[in-house]
């Protein structure tokens, strides 16, 4: 074999001809290194030999015996049946293969053989169809008598030859897998060397060895990511930022004007933000809190701190409706204190836009609320000192960067109502400091949630009428139409019309959807807020942020089509006042997963539990569409399950960067190299080349 280390092509391996090389390539396997890191899907325990006398039909067992008969039969033309009987003193077990006569030559009477597979009882005989087998020569067996690796395969590629090749490659090349982890890191975390880990991922001596291997490789993946994040974070921290002055009279007046005291969590979190804003280092903070926990208020205080000190604050949100609402909510809080609030959205007229953009460009202090229009061409914010983005999961990292470019090293506050589990938050937003509002304003009662099948739809609307009769209000969200905004708008329009004529006859019904001109939409929202509109039929444009405390019922039609996170957000629109509130999910789930989503909604109102469930049902990749945020694909680590390991990796990475900020030590060269290969530009790792 021509040896090129881990780069050696697999076709140089014994028994790999052009055809097999092509098959292997279909699995993405070209070099021995590829195969070393192509880990088994699972291991099958084939260590215990079961005496034939103890077999039971239907069980998967491993049996060892002496070949006692080899028979080939032809029950029909074109059909061959190979039967190999092995005996172990307690009985005889027949291994059978159809149309694989070539196997016959491998068995001879008197040989010691191991069969593994599902046992059946037929015509008074013990039998295994197509067993995994191994001639037991006394040496280390491969396919049986051990924890046997089972690889992910594709059509036309088989377990046995792949396993044999893996063994050859592992024996020969695994010892040469370089160790990226510096010895002190490895020792402190109690990790086995990379070479051992790779070997044991394939052919572990026992479960303990397998777990140690998995732990080692998961740690490495998490460590590399955390290292990249720590480096990036350090870089951000090194930039010179703006030191905002301490809170003064404006802040005191703001608190006085509030009709309620801050919750302890709001105070603590604002304290964290204040400290960041007053420090000369740029703030980079994620503010996380369940729907309705009062994040907006905390953001308003931060905005006041910036604008009150003569700077500009940009407050960027994902939808126009939310921008309009924040604008409406912030004005009465801030304008009495002399802080102007402006609104910039894509659907404003040119003159409206100009009216906002002029003071912005002139560097006038204030809070500027807007959609992505805020980072649009020609928008200038020369005195930007604080950028707040709401509902971050809808904003790309790039947009955040663009916003930052508009001001020098402004403080950044990212708010999210998406209850990202802490482990994932660390993984995804590890470059951000984390503040969590983990407490609801007092007097909130959990929203009662009921799932009704479509046949009970009338009951839902009878309930809506009942609540409206009490002076309360309701939302009705129409089923999700994926194809287009236009179809979605049509569906909502139709639903509103149907309800007005039918179930909700006589009630004042309003309609909002994404296609409505801004002015009309604002008007409907204002009429809903004032109570004039009693029932608001809507698309998911109302998903985030909308805040009307008198609304006590949320009806979701076609609830089976929505994701868990979305349902949770929608439910968050009610339960904001002091009346008991209800969420009625009308849906006929066509899949087990959809049914579990609706049941999870009935079971809990805790956003974090919902998030964990969502993650469990969908896997981290699909979770909240986070893939677009660059959630790396892990081969071994599972950021949810491995949270303890993630914390360990994070601490180790921080310590390493502390000691060697540029990764200049020769001992860290492999790490530097690996970071460049794995993350490269995505994490903007300038300065460690
Ligand atoms: P979030 O943005 O986290 O979803 P909001 O900021 O919209 O939550 O707050 C939800 C509701 O709770 C709003 O009506 C707000 O006025 C109210 N609220 C916020 N903080 C408090 C508090 N400390 N005490 C009572 N009500 C509060
Ligand atoms: Mg909000």
Q: Helices 592-603 and 607-622, interaxial angle, to 10°?
A: 160
Average pLDDT, the chain: 86
Dist. CA 297 → ligand 2 center (Å)? 9
User: Does 685 have pLDDT greater than 50?
Assistant: no
Assess whether pLDDT exceeds 80 at residue 398: no
pLDDT for the residue 156: 74
State the average pLDDT over residues 505-516.
92
Q: Which residue has the higher pLDDT, 286 or 449?
A: 449
Best residue among 297, 546, 578 to mutate for probing ligand 1, ranked by most atoms within 8 Å of CB: 297
In this structure, are 271 and 397 located in the same domain?
yes
Give alpha helix (H) positions in 429-563: 457-469, 485-501, 518-530
Q: Which residues of 452-491 are buried (b: 16+ CB within 10 A; e: fewer)?
A: beeeeeeebbebbbebbeeebbbbbbbbbbeeeeeebbeb
Residue 269 lies in a domain: yes
Burial of 264 (0-12, 13-18, 19+ CB in 10 A): exposed
* Separation CA 92–CA 53 (nearest Å): 9
Which of 406-420, 497-511, 537-551, 560-574 ranks highest by mean pLDDT? 497-511
In a domain, 40, yes or no: no
- For the segment 493-516, the average pLDDT, to the nearest whole number, is 93
Ligand index nearest the alpha carbon of residue 296: 1
pLDDT at 146: 82
What pLDDT does 686 receive?
36
CB 231 within 8 A of CB 688: yes
- Dihedral angle sign, alpha carbons of residues 128, 134, 137, 139: negative
pLDDT tens for 435-480 read 889 888 887 778 999 999 999 999 999 999 999 999 999 999 998 8
Bridge partners (DSSP) listed for residue 367: 313, 341
Residues lining ligand 1, Cβ inside 6 A = 260, 262-263, 266, 289, 291-297, 417, 441, 547, 549, 576
- Residue of higher predicted confidence among 423 and 587: 587
What local confidence, expressed as pLDDT, does residue 229 receive?
Answer: 79
CA distances from 436 to 269, 272, 441, 565 (A): 7, 10, 14, 18
Domain with 473 in it: 448-604
Q: Residue 33 has what pLDDT?
A: 94
Position 362 scores a pLDDT of 95
Q: Are residues 580 and 481 in the same domain?
A: yes
Mean pLDDT of 536-547: 78
CA of 354 to the centre of ligand 2 (A): 27
Alpha-carbon distance values, 503 to 294, 458, 500, 640 (Å): 35, 7, 7, 44
Residue with tokens 């099958």: 44
What CATH number corresponds to the domain at position 527?
A: 3.40.50.300
Q: How confident is the model at residue 84 (pLDDT cuts 50, 70, 90)?
A: very high
Closest CA to 538 of 581, 484, 495: 495
Give 462 or 393, the one with higher predicted confidence.
462
Residue 283 lies in a domain: no
The residue with greater pLDDT, 142 or 29, is 29
Domain for residue 355, yes or no? yes
C-alpha 392 – ligand 1 centre gap (Å):
19
Give the tens place of pLDDT for each residue, 93-131: 999 999 888 888 889 999 999 898 899 999 899 999 999
Q: Same domain for 274 and 339?
A: yes
Find the mean pLDDT for residues 31-41.
93
For residues 314 and 374, membership in a common domain is answered with yes
Q: Report phi then psi at 432, rounded to 5.
A: -110, 150
User: Which whole number is the average pLDDT over 80-100?
Assistant: 93
Report how far residue 126's alpha carbon sits from residue 301's, in angstroms, rounded to the nearest whole number.
77
Residues 344, 468: one domain?
no
Question: Of 123-127, 159-163, 281-285, 540-544, which range is least confident?
Answer: 540-544
Residue to mutate (ligand 1; options 260, 288, 292, 322; most atoms within 8 A of CB) = 292
Statement: residue 612 has pLDDT above 80? no
Report d(CA 219, CA 227) in Å as an integer.
12
CA 618 to CA 604: how far, in whole Å?
Answer: 18
Give CA–CA dist 319/345, Å, rounded.
Answer: 9
CA-nearest residue, atom 4 of ligand 1: 292
Position 397 scores a pLDDT of: 55
476 sits in which H/E element: strand 473-477
Are the C-beta atoms of 479 and 557 separated by less than 8 Å? yes
| End residue of a domain, out of 100, 119, 145 | 145
Give the pLDDT score at 226: 85
118: in domain: yes
- From residue 603, give the alpha-carbon distance in Å to each of 290, 583, 598, 609: 17, 12, 9, 10
Dump pLDDT digits (tens) for 56-78.
999 988 899 999 999 998 888 88
Tens of pLDDT along 319-355?
787 888 889 889 999 999 999 999 999 888 889 999 9
| Alpha carbons 240 and 328: distance in angstroms, whole number | 34
Domain identity same for 401 and 453 = no
- The confidence band for 405, taking pLDDT boundaries of 50, 70 and 90, is low
- Which pLDDT belongs to residue 70? 95
Indicate whether 260 and 402 sit together in one domain.
yes
Per-residue model confidence (pLDDT) at position 126: 96
For a mutational test of ligand 1's pocket, the pick from 259, 262, 296, i.e. the residue with the most ligand atoms closer than 8 A to its C-beta, is 296
Q: In what order do the strands lie in the sheet with 384-390?
A: 341-344, 366-370, 312-316, 384-390, 411-416, 284-289, 433-437
Please report whether residue 457 resides in a domain: yes
Give me the percent of the chain exceeding a pLDDT of 90: 48
- Overall average pLDDT of the 661-685 stretch: 78
576 located within any domain: yes
CA of 442 to the centre of ligand 1 (A): 10
Is residue 38 scored above 90 in pLDDT? yes
Task: Among 166-170, 395-399, 668-672, name the one with the lowest average pLDDT.
Answer: 395-399
Does residue 622 fall inside a structural domain?
Answer: no
* CA of 297, closest atom in ligand 1: 6
Cα–ligand 1 centroid distance for 389 (angstroms): 17
610 CA from centroid of ligand 1 (Å): 21
User: Residue 426 has what pLDDT?
Assistant: 64
Residues 370 and 476 in one domain: no
10 Å CB burial of residue 523 (0-12, 13-18, 19+) is: middle
Do both 262 and 333 map to the same domain?
yes
- DSSP for 175-243 reads GG----S-HHHHHHHT---HHHHHHHHHS-SSHHHHHHHHHHHHHHHHHHHHHHHHHHHHHHHHS----
Residue 265's nearest CA partner among 282, 241, 289, 233 is: 289
Phi, then psi, of 507 in degrees rounded to 5: -95, 160
- Write the CATH number for 81: 2.40.50.140
Lowest mean pLDDT among 92-96, 358-362, 625-629: 625-629
219 or 577, which is more confident? 219
Are 406 and 375 in contact, with CB atoms under 8 Å apart?
Answer: yes
Among 400, 416, 432, the domain-final residue is 416
Residue 483 predicted with pLDDT over 70? no
* Per-residue pLDDT reduced to its tens digit, 194-221: 999 999 999 999 999 999 999 999 999 9
Residue having the nearest C-alpha atom to atom 16 of ligand 1:
294
The total number of structural domains that make up the chain = 3
CA of 678 to the centre of ligand 1 (A): 42
- Same-domain pairing of 409 and 506: no
Q: pLDDT value at position 218?
A: 94
The neighbour count for residue 679, using CB atoms within 10 Å, is: 20
Could you say which ligand is closest to the alpha carbon of residue 295? 1
- Answer yes or no: do 382 and 497 share one domain: no
Nearest to 276 by CA among 370, 384, 385: 385
Which residues make up the environment of ion ligand 2, defined by Cβ < 5 Å?
296, 545
Radius of gyration (C-alpha) of the chain in whole angstroms: 32
Q: Are residues 325 and 467 in the same domain?
A: no
Strand partners for 56: none
Of the residues 294, 302, 438, 543, which should be mutated to test ligand 1's pocket, given the most ligand atoms within 8 Å of the CB?
294
SS3 501: helix
What values do phi and psi take at 6, rounded to 5?
-70, -15
Name the least confident of 32-36, 461-465, 469-473, 643-647: 643-647
C-alpha–C-alpha distance, residues 103 and 159, integer Å: 16
Q: How far is the CA of 136 from the centre of ligand 2 (A)?
A: 67
Instruction: Determine the average pLDDT of the residues in 519-535.
Output: 91
Note the pLDDT of residue 572.
87
- Of 91, 118, 145, which residue sits at a domain end? 145
């Amino acid at each position: 074999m021509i040896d090129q280390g881990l780069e050696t092509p697999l076709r140089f391996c014994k028994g790999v001809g052009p055809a097999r090389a092509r098959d292997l390539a279909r699995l993405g396997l070209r070099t021995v290194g590829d195969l070393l890191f192509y880990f088994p899907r699972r291991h099958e325990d084939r260590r215990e030999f079961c005496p034939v006398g103890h077999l039971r039909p239907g069980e998967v067992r491993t049996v060892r015996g002496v070949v006692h008969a080899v028979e080939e039969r032809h029950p029909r033309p074109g059909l061959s049946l190979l039967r190999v009987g092995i005996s172990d003193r307690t009985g005889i077990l027949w291994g059978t293969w159809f149309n694989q006569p070539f196997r016959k030559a491998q068995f001879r009477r008197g040989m010691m053989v191991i069969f593994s597979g599902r046992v059946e009882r037929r015509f008074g005989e013990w039998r295994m169809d197509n067993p995994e087998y191994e001639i037991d020569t006394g040496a280390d067996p491969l396919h049986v008598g051990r924890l046997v690796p089972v690889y992910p395969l594709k059509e036309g590629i088989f377990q046995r030859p792949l396993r044999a090749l893996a063994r050859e490659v592992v024996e020969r090349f695994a010892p040469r897998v370089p160790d990226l982890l510096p010895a002190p890191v490895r020792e402190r975390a109690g990790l086995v060397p990379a070479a051992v880990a790779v070997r044991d991922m394939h052919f572990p001596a026992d479960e303990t060895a397998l777990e140690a291997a998995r732990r080692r490789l998961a740690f490495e993946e998490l460590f590399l990511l955390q290292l990249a994040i720590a480096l990036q974070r350090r870089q951000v921290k090194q930039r010179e930022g703006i030191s905002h002055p301490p809170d003064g009279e404006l802040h005191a007046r703001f608190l006085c004007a509030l009709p309620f005291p801050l919750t302890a969590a709001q105070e603590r979190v604002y304290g964290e933000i204040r400290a960041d804003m007053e420090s000369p280092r740029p703030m980079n903070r994620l503010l996380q809190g369940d729907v309705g926990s009062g994040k907006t208020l905390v953001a308003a205080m931060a905005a006041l701190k910036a604008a009150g000190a003569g700077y500009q604050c940009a407050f960027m949100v994902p939808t126009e409706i939310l921008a309009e609402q924040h604008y409406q909510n912030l004005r009465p809080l801030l304008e009495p204190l002399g802080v102007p609030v402006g609104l910039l959205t894509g659907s404003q007229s040119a003159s409206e836009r100009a009216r906002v953009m002029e003071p912005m460009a002139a560097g006038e202090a204030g809070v500027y609320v807007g959609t992505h229009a805020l980072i649009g061409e020609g928008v200038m914010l020369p005195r930007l000192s604080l950028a707040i983005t709401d509902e971050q999961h809808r904003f790309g990292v790039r947009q955040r960067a663009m916003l930052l470019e508009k001001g020098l090293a402004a403080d950044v506050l990212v708010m999210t109502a998406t209850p990202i589990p802490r482990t994932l938050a660390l993984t995804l937003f590890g470059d951000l400091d984390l503040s969590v509002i983990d407490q609801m304003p007092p007097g909130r009662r959990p929203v009662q949630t009921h799932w009704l099948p479509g046949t009970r739809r009338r009951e839902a609307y009878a309930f809506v009428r009942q609540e409206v009769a009490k002076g309360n209000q309701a939302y009705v969200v129409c089923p999700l139409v994926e194809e287009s905004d236009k179809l979605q708008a049509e569906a909502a329009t139709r639903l509103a019309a149907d309800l007005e004529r039918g179930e909700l006859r006589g009630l004042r019904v309003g309609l909002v959807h994404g296609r409505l001109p801004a002015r009309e939409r604002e008007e409907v929202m204002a009429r809903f807020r004032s109570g004039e509109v009693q029932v608001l039929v809507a698309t998911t444009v109302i998903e985030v942020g909308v805040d009307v405390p008198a609304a006590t019922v949320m009806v979701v039609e076609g609830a089976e089509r929505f994701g868990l996170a979305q349902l949770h957000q929608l439910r968050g629109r009610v339960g904001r006042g002091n009346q008991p509130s209800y969420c009625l999910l009308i849906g006929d789930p066509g899949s087990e997963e959809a049914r579990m989503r609706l049941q999870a909604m009935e079971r809990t109102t805790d956003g974090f539990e919902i998030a964990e469930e969502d993650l469990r049902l969908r896997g981290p990749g699909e979770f909240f569409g986070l893939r677009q945020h660059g959630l790396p694909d892990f081969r071994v680590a599972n950021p949810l399950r491995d949270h303890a390991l993630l914390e360990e990796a994070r601490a180790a990475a921080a310590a390493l960067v502390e000691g060697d900020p540029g990764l200049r030590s020769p001992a860290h060269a492999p790490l530097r190299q690996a970071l460049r290969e794995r993350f490269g530009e995505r994490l903007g790792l300038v300065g460690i080349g």
